[in-house]
């Protein structure tokens, strides 16, 4: 999943016949005007933006905060930098390894499988093979841009940069048709395993850590189940297996989970790995107990069903 948002335009503005004395302890500083150009994401409306500057000498990164999405002017120590901007109006996102652009990572907090189910049944089962994967929340919307070799020197005077943020996330839409007995469902959710746990914006690629994302699923009450997941994409450099698990609690309290191996659809060469559609058939939910009839499970246990997909 490549997103080439590493676009940085540097405009050097010469201030003629004047020398501006700065009243800072670090006298060797320059004014830097920062402009965020939203041509690649015109509908984005972040409430705030962060700019990270990474000194080329390897010292600690600098962070500057802007209200709104337009940018502004900041005072920066003179030097050569790599740069990264991203929106900071997020709740589930956290950042790590932030002192170098190459190691800078965007990730999301851990959560529980039951969070998207709306109820809290105990011991929700995991997809086979993904039992040890961290369960993490779908990230907030993230936009970013990065660039290299910004030269903020004292001789030139004032400086300006224009950054073009783009969408960092992948959208996965899931549809299951020919689902049975949906009118008896009281709670429904899904999860997808084998996904990337974060994003390395300086490399423009997802991280190699494998995680499971829970997400909400919706029934039309007749025969179709749908759900949508925002994530960092899958790990293209691994042969990870991706399993979609659908969890259903029926009106009689019985609990069922259905597992589909969707690796083939996830790994298909579809051109745009930022928008992936998973299309499945059959969700064989049982008819619950009605007036003493129907299937009578132990409602305290989750009942597994592996759904075979056509080749």
Give per-residue pLDDT as tens, 228-280: 999 999 876 667 899 999 999 998 888 999 999 999 999 887 667 789 999 99
- The pLDDT of residue 206 is 92
Per-residue model confidence (pLDDT) at position 234: 87
pLDDT at 24 over 50: no
* CA–CA dist 306, 311 (Å, integer): 15
pLDDT digits (tens, 9 = 90+) for 64-107: 999 999 999 999 999 999 999 999 999 999 999 999 999 999 99
- The 10s digit of each residue's pLDDT in 174-211 is 999 999 999 999 999 999 999 999 999 999 999 989 99
CB burial class (10 A; 0-12, 13-18, 19+) of residue 206?
A: buried
Q: Which of 4-8, 171-175, 307-311 has the lowest mean pLDDT?
A: 4-8
Using CA atoms, how far residue 243 sits from 171, 255, 262, in Å, is: 16, 19, 6
Q: What is the pLDDT of residues 108-150, one digit of tens each?
A: 999 988 877 766 666 788 899 999 999 999 999 999 999 899 9
CA angle 178, 182, 186 (to 5 degrees): 150
Instruction: Tell me if the pTM is above 0.75.
Output: yes
pLDDT of residue 282 exceeding 60, the answer is yes
Q: Which residue would you say has higher pLDDT here, 12 or 48?
A: 48
Residue with token string 């320059």: 30
pLDDT at residue 26 in the model: 52
pLDDT the model gives residue 158: 81
pLDDT value of position 237: 66
- Which domains are assigned to the chain? 8-131+141-166 (2.60.40), 170-306 (2.60.40)
Q: What is the pLDDT of residue 5?
A: 45
The listed range with the strongest mean pLDDT (147-151, 162-166, 305-309) is 162-166
């Amino acid at each position: 999943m490549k997103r080439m948002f590493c676009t940085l335009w540097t405009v050097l503005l010469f201030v003629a016949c004047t020398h501006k004395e700065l009243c800072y302890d670090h006298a060797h500083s320059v004014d830097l005007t920062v402009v965020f150009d939203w041509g690649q994401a015109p509908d984005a409306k972040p409430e705030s933006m962060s700019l990270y500057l990474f000194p080329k000498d390897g010292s600690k990164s600098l962070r500057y905060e802007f209200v709104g999405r337009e940018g502004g002017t900041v005072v920066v120590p003179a030097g050569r930098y790599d740069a990264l901007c991203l929106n900071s109006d997020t709740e589930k996102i956290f950042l790590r390894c932030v002192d170098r652009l190459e190691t800078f990572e965007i990730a999301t907090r851990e959560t529980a499988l039951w969070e998207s189910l709306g109820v809290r049944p105990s011991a929700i089962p995991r997809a086979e093979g993904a039992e040890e994967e961290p369960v993490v929340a779908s990230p907030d919307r993230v936009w970013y841009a990065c660039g290299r070799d910004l030269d903020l020197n004292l001789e030139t005077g004032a400086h300006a940069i224009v950054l073009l943020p783009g969408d960092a996330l992948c959208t996965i839409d899931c549809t299951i048709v020919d689902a049975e007995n949906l009118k008896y469902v009281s709670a429904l959710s899904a999860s997808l395993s084998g996904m990337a746990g974060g994003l390395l914006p300086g490399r423009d690629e997802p991280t190699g850590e494998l995680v499971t994302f829970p997400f909400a699923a919706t029934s039309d009450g007749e025969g179709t189940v749908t759900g949508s997941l925002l994530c960092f994409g899958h790990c293209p450099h691994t042969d990870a297996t991706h399993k979609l698990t659908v969890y259903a609690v029926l009106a009689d309290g019985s609990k069922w989970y259905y597992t589909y191996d969707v690796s083939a659809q996830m790994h298909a060469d579809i051109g745009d790995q930022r928008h992936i559609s998973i299309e499945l058939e059959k969700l064989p939910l049982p008819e619950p107990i009605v007036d003493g009839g129907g299937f009578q499970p132990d409602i305290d246990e989750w009942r597994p069903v592996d759904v075979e997909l056509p080749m």
